[in-house]
Structure 1
Amino acid sequence: MKFAFFGSSLVSAYWNGAATYYRGLVRNLHERGHDVSFYEPDAFERQQHRDLPDPQWARVVVYDTEQTAVDRALAEAANADVIIKASGVGVFDNYLEQAIADLKRPSNIVIFWDVDAPATLDRIEASPDDPARKQIPRYDMILTYGGGDPVIRAYSALGAKHCIPIYNGLDVSTHHPVAADPRFAADLTFVGNRLPDREARVERFFLEPAASRPRHRFLLGGSGWDDKPMSTNIDYIGHVYTRDHNAINASARAVLNISRASMARYGFSPATRVFEAAGAGACIVTDAWEGIELFLEPEREILVAHNGQDVAALLDDLTEERARHIGQQALKRVVNEHTYAHRAAEVEALLEGRRYRPEQAGRTLHV
């Protein structure tokens, strides 16, 4: 099938947390024989902070942030078999959502792919006049980055024909175990951009535990934290390019996942970093959210903290040996059940009207 995919960016992870999600899915759809064109705007300095050259497994079309350029991209995409509008493109979102719904024909499939369903649904609930309300029932299906039954129920109530979560996963070609790098040595590492509905949780789950454990070393990565007050045992390194993800994850005793407030509230929304860290064999500490056990087994494959005090206590008790064991168990689980090969096979089955079976992802890998 020929896909036309409108998203924030495939080639830049700069202020673009969905980049590795897009890359894993698109690469594996290509490997299953599909032809993908990815349309992204030249916005937010992402093209100036590329961390991926134009790949062989997708055609990347960068368009200017003017309506005429958007219209040219839409006209080109109109002949695709599957036309996708992702949430959070950042430029002309409302316009694109209506325009892509308008491209619906008997011979194609139009999809709204929500990479931040909890935030989208909260926004729509708070605004009866939100333009997305009119467009949701017009799409053949709503696919989401996560959210489970709570998100499915919410989208169904808004008139969605079908709503199916396509969860994050591991891109084994990009994220894998590597040797530790002394530059990134830490007892606990967290990587995430500074966002309004994440900041308070970062304070509780990372900054406060760091302040309470001055003898431990903490590493903070991500954009926007430059002027944030933090204890002296935190090393802030700014934006982390994809090329350093494996080393970051492999060099810490534990890697922290902190969900944004809306994602934690809905549950069933494992962040990309969970699978990236597991793919590198890292021991993950995550904040608590409903549905964790669907992806990794608490205490055996992942550690769960309900507050900052839990994070500090887990660090106190976590030996290097136990951390390595938990990381290895997580690596085995995600490689065998949660790769983007599995996710792409699921998408293909949905589009072809088949029931997805795990073996459709290809041969099970063993670590």
Structure 2
Amino acid sequence: MRPGLRAAAGGGEPGPRPASGASRTADIVLLGLSITSSWGNGHATTYRGLVRELVRRGHRVTFLERDVPWYADNRDLPRPPWGRTELYRNVEELKDRFTRLVRAADLVVVGSYVPQGAAVGAWVLEQAGGTTAFYDIDTPVTLARLARGDCDYLTPELVPRYGLYLSFTGGPTLRHVERALGARAARALYCSVDPELYRPEPREALWDLGYLGTYGEDRQPVLDRLLLEPARRWREGRFAVAGAQYPRELRWPPNVARMEHLAPPQHASYYGAQRFALNATRADMVRAGFSPSVRLFEAGACGTPVISDAWEGLEEFFQPGREILIARGADEVLRLLRELPEEERRRLGQAARARVLGEHTAAHRARALEGYLAEASGGGG
């Protein structure tokens, strides 16, 4: 897709008037890692849901995405049907084409992992006439990289200049970002789920336990402990792992089905074929706590009960034992897979779905962002 291609619908024109209770209509610019491709990243699904709900609530939204080869070759939504999507080849082109847009916007958001994000952020902060925000979809990773001095999408000097620091991680990390890095207002804007895309699709159970996620070196030990080891020990069991970038030399037990990248429209069917879904958390996220994975909300919205590793703050999102199951090792996983009554398994899935629809959809996050924008604007953000 060539740079500058507009979305098939909307084209940046005003959408419907804000829904009842919505804030005033705003012009919003999002500069994120990707909205057109979910290959190898969890950012796209978050942005897609957020942009759609903001447009539904009457806001004018433009998403600016760096046109890079690995996403260009794997675009599962090349023409997002909400708002306006524009691609740019480099920072110079970004400045040439979109300075006026950034100056006129009520809110400009720069996301984590944007290529040359520090340079992009510095430009936004110099040009923006409204509220600015950094949206950290990888907060614990970002903080670790800032401490090491190897973060190319944010610098310590930029943090206090943003009006808002929006974070996938909540809890004590927010206060740390304010105290240690000088953020003006650190606020949680967690990942979410699109209930129109993620909903129950009952089908024959193909797997006892499945996992969906891109390979992560620090997450692989959790996957090994909670899925691969149970598979090795229970040869009659059926397991599945779907996701990109796993090393070719990695050896999988014979009862583990292996799939490469699954596009979001395939996720509900995948979850529907699992008796249980596994949530495996990256080490940085475990240390920080209060860092829910989008897979928790996706599986929950599909009514598939989740077995998760343990981390601080999990109970803020799901009630252990009633809406989610916690396992610390292969023995606990195998006991749940082999001994939990079917009626209890179904009840867990239903309870998780109710919790997700009540608190963790993209619509909830859009309303939260409106509130943060009103707060920052009122305070001169």
Q: Same fold (TM over 0.5)?
A: yes
Q: What does residue 67 of structure 1 align with?
A: 91
C-alpha distance in 2, partners of 1:21/1:128? 25
2:54 aligned with 1:34, yes or no? no
C-alpha distance in 2, partners of 1:209/1:164? 38
The AA in structure 1 aligned to 2:32 is G
The verdict on how the C-alpha distance between 1:311 and 1:342 changes in structure 2, with shifts beyond 3 A counting, is same
Give the gaps of 5 or more residues in structure 2.
Answer: 1-25, 377-381
2:180 aligned with 1:157, yes or no? yes
Q: What does residue 30 of structure 2 align with?
A: 5
The AA in structure 1 aligned to 2:155 is A
The AA in structure 2 aligned to 1:97 is G
> Equivalent residues in 2 for 1:106-255 (5 A)?
108-127=130-149, 132-180=155-203, 185-225=206-246, 226-255=248-277
Moved more, 324-333 or 168-177: 168-177
The verdict on how the C-alpha distance between 1:284 and 1:128 changes in structure 2, with shifts beyond 3 A counting, is closer
Shift of 1:353: 2.2
Write out per-residue CA displacement over residues 91-124 of structure 1, whole angstroms, 9 at most, x where no aligned residue: 212211221222243xx00101100001001111
> Is the partner of 1:223 in helix, strand or coil?
coil
Shift of 1:283: 0.7
Q: What does residue 278 of structure 1 align with?
A: 300
The verdict on how the C-alpha distance between 1:325 and 1:128 changes in structure 2, with shifts beyond 3 A counting, is closer
User: How many residues are paired up?
Assistant: 348
The answer to whether the 8 Å contact 1:141/1:161 transfers is: yes
The answer to whether the 8 Å contact 2:177/2:186 transfers is: no
| C-alpha RMSD of matched pairs (Å) | 1.9
Identity rate, percent: 34
Shift of 1:53: 4.1
Give the gaps of 5 or more residues in structure 1.
Answer: 355-367
C-alpha distance in 2, partners of 1:309/1:261? 21
Shift of 1:175: 1.0
C-alpha distance in 2, partners of 1:171/1:8? 19
C-alpha distance in 1, partners of 2:181/2:143? 9
TM-score with structure 2 length normalisation?
0.87
C-alpha distance in 1, partners of 2:146/2:178? 10
Shift of 1:76: 4.4
Shift of 1:197: 2.4
C-alpha distance in 2, partners of 1:112/1:244? 30
C-alpha distance in 1, partners of 2:318/2:218? 25
The verdict on how the C-alpha distance between 1:85 and 1:129 changes in structure 2, with shifts beyond 3 A counting, is closer
C-alpha distance in 2, partners of 1:52/1:319? 40
> Is the partner of 1:333 in helix, strand or coil?
helix
Write out per-residue CA displacement over residues 12-44 of structure 1, whole angstroms, 9 at most, x where no aligned residue: 101121111111111111111111100111114
Q: 1:49 aligns with which of 62, 68, 74?
A: 74
The AA in structure 1 aligned to 2:306 is I
C-alpha distance in 2, partners of 1:165/1:186? 34
